[in-house]
Chain A
Amino acid sequence: MKIGEHREALVARVRVVSGVVGVLLAAICGAFWFVQVVKGSHYRELAENNRLRRMAVKAPRGTILDRNGRVLVENLPTYNLLLDRSRAAAVGTSLGFAAPILGRPLPELKALLERYRGVPTFQPVLLGERLALEQVARFRVEELAHPEFVVEVSHRRFYRLGLHAAHVLGYLGEARAEEVADPAAGLKAGDWVGRRGIERTYDPRLRGADGEQVVVVDSRGQPVEELGRQVGRPGENLTLTLDAELQQEAERQLEGKVGAIVALDPRNGEIRALVSAPAYDPNLFARRLAAEDWQKLLDDPSRPLQNRALQSTYPPGSIFKVVVAAAGLAEGVITVAEGVYCNGSKRFFKRPFHCWKAGGHGFMNLESALKNSCDIYFYELGQKLGVERIARYARLFDLGTVTGIDLDGERAGLVPDPEWSQRARRRAWYPGETISVAIGQGALLTTPLQMATVIAAFANGGRIVTPHLVAGAAVPSRPLAVPASALEPIRRGLWKVVNDLGTGASARVAGLEIAGKTGTAQVVAHAAYEDSSTRPWAERNHAWFASYAPFSDPTLVIVVFIEHGGQGSRAAAPVAKALYEKFLGPDLGPAAAS
């Protein structure tokens, strides 16, 4: 036997080695028991996470309509081009393929891709927006050769009116990282959020709730089958109080000008038109790659993004005389019959104050002083009232606070008084300032929207309305703490302004009784009677016209404000006239007013 005398030793060692193998096998079996039985449910969950993708089914954003059901904002299907860099053989080649189809130079696409450097490669990035169908087709045809390109169908916001009502409707922006991180915001990456205007105020209602789709995907993230679908809640459609036709006509009237128009229903505060000029095209914001356009808007010196009707404040000029007059009557400082003689100039506190009319108006009572916008009458009244009482009545008319309109960024303006002077300017109130405030100058600042609610209080017989754009958002009007007897004479004066050869005669419409008040607010100090139209644009006066009609049963308030437009009677009143003619004119019949 070749095996020799050491066979037993060999067999013993075989036994040892196989014993070791046996122990190791048992250990492996135990390890599998641990992974599969002890930790099994953990790994089952991981496997489910692997294969299941929860994909948001975007809820369509609500459309926005005007009061007559005209669509102002809607959603349009759009095709976006996404690039999945992890599936590209060479990103350079992919861009070379896409550039001619997109019609964009290669370096531009490369620069665009550079922006996505920090994004993980398997996360598709946006390369092109709003592809035409033939462009989509060309990417689809080459799908096998270029699987890295994904054409995504989504919805983009379309503002049908373009520039029209831009400031009211606002625009959307992509959710920012900090908003996505905030669970209370309920936003996902890639979601669009209202940034301005109605889109912002009513964002939760317009947005709705996204649904969810559970899909089985393979290792490359390709969907294999759908497991379930949770239906979302589509965004609510919003009907505005806005009248698209009035809005468009008002915008046309402001073409080439800088200013604002507010038209509202004095009975309930419903906004019929709200214009700020110049405007911008909100469709620019419906794209994600429009950084340059955005910068251009920001840099525009005429600040088109600003809603001048409520985000800018101006001295109201002579329109403020209605407030001072109401204060005088309510406080018993003046009567309707009492008069003042205007010879064009008068000294107050050792300083001459001029009337806008050189040579003066002669004898003026309340109604004629309103009709002619006589400054001397109101200088006297202001002196009698004192600044505290003027400020108190201004605040009764809600000046110095926001009106509460359902739009963002509204400014409160400023009602000055000695207390404010000490606090903000750290100096005493000059008595002469009271004289300026009495005719709506000085430190007094208001928005065109505020002036609309002031004039509406005269139109509706003494109620402060809260302007609003969505019917359901109506806040009940509040009674004005000024007796109706103090308002009536002023109403008569306002009638005369337009219909009795007053300063607003240029707004007169045959067959329609309009009441109103002109205003010409000085921007730089100069004699009141001086014509500012020869000065540089930025030094010219602001033109105001605040009005309502029909006189006996007012249904419409129109405030026209033209920045550096010159005289209110020449620049602002004719604009209001054009709008009244079109929308309340006698040939339209009474039905057009409601």
Chain B
Amino acid sequence: MRSSSGQISAPLPLPDERPRLAHLGGVRWGLLAAALALTLLGLATVRSATAETGDDFLQRQLVWVGIGLVAMVVAFSFNYQTLLSFSLPLYLASLAALALVLVLGYEAGGAQGWFRVGSVGIQPSEFAKLVTALYLTRYLAAPSGRELPTRQILAAMAIVAVPMLLIVLEPDLGGAAMFVPMAAGMLLVAGVKPRVLLLSVLAGLIVGLLVWNVGMQTYQRQRVLTFLAPDTDPLGAGYQVRQSKIAVGSGEVTGKGYGQGTQSQLRFLPARHTDFILAVLAEEWGFLGVALVLALYATYLWNVAAVAMRARDRAGILLVVGLGSVVAFHVLYNSAMVIGLVPVTGIPLPFLSYGGSFTLINYVSLGLILGVDFRRFVNR
């Protein structure tokens, strides 16, 4: 942000680290507005996608949005530096939770990754992702040269690998994969030698082969194969991709109208309110609706980048980049998935998709980003 670069040196009176009403001008409103607009679109689409089930998905999602907004304010009010100082115990606690869920959790969608509290499911992997971002930020925040030494990169990878491995065991490949763009974004920005980058791509390929042969369940391999040739098995595993593409394409420019999507209302589409919510929206709102959603995500990410670039310190930059990378990857992967460009896996859309833990985490992450921005002038 060229215009804001001038403000970096400008002193601003913020004696206290706690935000006050008088200082609300320091909030990045554009970021919040994009998130809220996406949330509203999401609620409307969840309502349409679940109308015929007769279930109360909309009410539940409304509750989670409410909880999310509160959590956002709480996250905003914490000084991220303080939070970073607690990140190691939080990290360890999340590893414990991930281990525990393998024993005590219950299964949904082929993965044992949920704790059940009453009728509410809680997914510890979502929280682990946030906490890992915090701990990784703390580890990489220590000042170093222009580029990270190889030893530090390997250590950073190890920090990310442990929770990933636990999530792969659930087995939730999609959930585990989310750690990769987060870590990659942070490491790239922190500084990686081109040689190391090349080596890690190679290592990634080897790990990928190992995962395919050893770590993957049959249904997961099937999903990848289906992705490669979706039309060969119309009622089998390729069904989801095919139905999703039909839903998206048949929306054409202006869509079939809200609540009028035949693919979604007649239940041809799978996971309508979660992973394939964009397909429902595309069918009912057409390309104009999709363009609006993508524009809102672009606004959101553009604001996140702006926050990162004017953050006060290295930790702030890295934390915002890590959290922003996760959102960016979710958006890119999910939207590519509903039109069959990448294999189907459980990666929902931030703010748009139905889902308790996921909604909560997105708002906490938003709160943290807003908090970093709010404290960009504070000297401690």
Residue of B nearest to A36 (CB): B287
From B252, B286, B308, contact of A41 by CB (8 A): B252
Residues A40 and B249 in contact, CB atoms below 8 Å apart: yes
Known contacts: A9-B146, A37-B252. The answer to whether A43 contacts B246 by CB under 8 A is yes
From A15, A24, A47, A224, contact of B305 by CB (8 A): A15
Query: What is the minimal beta-carbon distance from A124 to any residue of chain B, in angstroms?
Result: 15
Q: Which of B243, B266, B324, B332 neighbours the largest number of chain A CB atoms within 10 Å of its CB?
A: B266
How far, in angstroms, from A122 to B239 measured CA to CA in the complex?
15
Residues B248 and A6 in contact, CB atoms below 8 Å apart: no
Does chain A have a CB within 8 A of B93?
no
Query: What is the minimal beta-carbon distance from B61 to any residue of chain A, in angstroms?
Result: 23
How far, in angstroms, from A72 to B287 measured CA to CA in the complex?
63
Interface digits, A12-49 against B, CB 8 Å rule (1 contact, 0 not)? 01110110011011001101110111011111101110
Does chain A have a CB within 8 A of B54?
no
Q: Using A9-B146, A9-B191, A218-B266 as known contacts, list a sample of 15 further A-B pairs with CB atoms less than 8 Å apart, ordered by residue number in A.
A: A1-B313, A4-B143, A15-B305, A17-B188, A17-B321, A18-B324, A21-B328, A29-B290, A31-B339, A36-B252, A36-B253, A36-B286, A40-B251, A46-B249, A48-B262
Query: What is the minimal beta-carbon distance from B262 to any residue of chain A, in angstroms?
Result: 5
Known contacts: A2-B314, A21-B328, A36-B286. The answer to whether A219 contacts B146 by CB under 8 A is no
Which B residues lie within 8 Å of A122 (CB)?
Answer: 235
Query: What is the minimal beta-carbon distance from A496 to any residue of chain B, in angstroms?
Result: 81
Which B residues lie within 8 Å of A47 (CB)?
Answer: 246-247, 249-250, 262-263, 283
Query: What is the minimal beta-carbon distance from A362 to any residue of chain B, in angstroms?
Result: 90
Known contacts: A9-B191, A36-B290, A46-B246. The answer to whether A3 contacts B314 by CB under 8 A is yes
Q: Which of B189, B291, B297, B312 neighbours the largest number of chain A CB atoms within 10 Å of its CB?
A: B189
Residues B297 and A25 in contact, CB atoms below 8 Å apart: yes
Residue of A nearest to B329 (CB): A21
Does chain A have a CB within 8 A of B185?
yes
How far, in angstroms, from A39 to B339 measured CA to CA in the complex?
12
Residue of B nearest to A16 (CB): B188
- In chain A, residues 216-236, which have Cβ atoms closer than 8 Å to a Cβ of chain B? 216-220, 224
How far, in angstroms, from A22 to B295 measured CA to CA in the complex?
10
From B143, B308, B325, B339, contact of A35 by CB (8 A): B339
- In chain A, residues 46-69, which have Cβ atoms closer than 8 Å to a Cβ of chain B? 46-48, 50-51
Interface digits, A381-405 against B, CB 8 Å rule (1 contact, 0 not)? 0000000000000000000000000
Which B residues lie within 8 Å of A24 (CB)?
Answer: 332
Query: What is the minimal beta-carbon distance from B125 to any residue of chain A, in angstroms?
Result: 23
Which A residues lie within 8 Å of B188 (CB)?
Answer: 13, 17
Query: What is the minimal beta-carbon distance from B231 to any residue of chain A, in angstroms?
Result: 11
From B266, B301, B305, contact of A217 by CB (8 A): B266
How far, in angstroms, from A28 to B268 measured CA to CA in the complex?
24
Which A residues lie within 8 Å of B336 (CB)?
Answer: 28, 31
Does chain B have a CB within 8 A of A133?
no
Residues B305 and A4 in contact, CB atoms below 8 Å apart: no
Which A residues lie within 8 Å of B304 (CB)?
Answer: 18
- In chain B, residues 238-290, which have Cβ atoms closer than 8 Å to a Cβ of chain A? 243, 245-253, 262-263, 266-268, 282-283, 286-287, 290
Residues A50 and B268 in contact, CB atoms below 8 Å apart: yes
Interface digits, A545-570 against B, CB 8 Å rule (1 contact, 0 not)? 00000000000000000000000000
In the complex, 14 of the A-B residue pairs with CB atoms within 8 angstroms, ordered by the A residue number, are A13-B189, A17-B188, A18-B304, A21-B301, A25-B298, A32-B291, A35-B245, A36-B252, A40-B250, A43-B248, A47-B262, A50-B262, A51-B266, A122-B235
How far, in angstroms, from A50 to B335 measured CA to CA in the complex?
23
How far, in angstroms, from A17 to B246 measured CA to CA in the complex?
33
Query: What is the minimal beta-carbon distance from A206 to any residue of chain B, in angstroms?
Result: 38
Query: What is the minimal beta-carbon distance from B269 to any residue of chain A, in angstroms?
Result: 8
Query: What is the minimal beta-carbon distance from B38 to any residue of chain A, in angstroms?
Result: 14
Residues A216 and B266 in contact, CB atoms below 8 Å apart: yes
Residue of B nearest to A86 (CB): B235
- In chain A, residues 504-524, which have Cβ atoms closer than 8 Å to a Cβ of chain B? none
Known contacts: A14-B309, A32-B282. The answer to whether A224 contacts B266 by CB under 8 A is yes
Does chain A have a CB within 8 A of B32?
no
Residue of A nearest to B250 (CB): A47
Known contacts: A2-B315, A10-B317, A21-B332. The answer to whether A43 contacts B250 by CB under 8 A is yes
Query: What is the minimal beta-carbon distance from A426 to any residue of chain B, in angstroms?
Result: 62
Residue of B nearest to A44 (CB): B250
Interface digits, A231-252 against B, CB 8 Å rule (1 contact, 0 not)? 0000000000000000000000
Does chain B have a CB within 8 A of A11?
yes
